[in-house]
Homo-oligomer: A and B are copies of this chain.
Amino acid sequence: MKKSLGAKTLAQPTPVWVIGSYDAHGKPNIMTIAWGGICCSQPPCVTISLRKATYTYECIKEHKAYTVNIPSAAMAKEADYVGTISGRNVDKFSMTKLTPIRSEMVDAPYIQEFPVVIECRVLHTFEIGLHTQFIGEIMDVKAEESVLGEQGVPDMLKVKPFVFDTGQSAYYEIGQRIGKAFSIGKKA
């Protein structure tokens, strides 16, 4: 017998991604989000949801582009910090000593120190309610060679991304490998 908890955003887990964009003056800005995910394979797209009140919302509206920067758990403090203040008031890159790199693919900056970055151009903007959903077409993914595994793609145990537990408002590391997808179920 399950207990009803009400109409709440208690889905687990959610990603912790840092969104890069330029403001109207060309200043690079970053903001942490947990409302997002891949939403299409062809064209490859990743969606992020932002409140209109955020500075990043204005920046993306202006430049129609953003980057999704995946922090490793070692950068959890920086990722948390840039989710607690507004880029209207501070230069988050200088505050965190992170380095903005201008994307050659889209009109947005990415974070040099983060192991994996995804460069997106805005394909659609959907108003849902408090949050606006941006659908970004993935133009390129860039990663440090040191985090690549089999087949030359990022290996979760090398990237060491982390996740957000919405209900308890806490971050968790990625743990042990369970097994291969589209495979372990066949042995059941």
Contacts and interface: CB of A to CB of B under 8 A. Distances in A.
Copies per complex? Answer: 2
A40 B45 CA distance: 18
Interface residues of A, number: 104
A10 B99 CA distance: 22
Contact of A169 (B43, B133, B137, B181): B181
Interface string A18-61: 00000000000000001111111111111101010000000000
B2 A144 contact: yes
B9 A44 contact: yes
Given A3-B145, A7-B139, A12 B156 contact: yes
List the 4 closest pairs (A to B, CB-CB), nearest first.
A81-B185, A37-B37, A153-B167, A80-B185
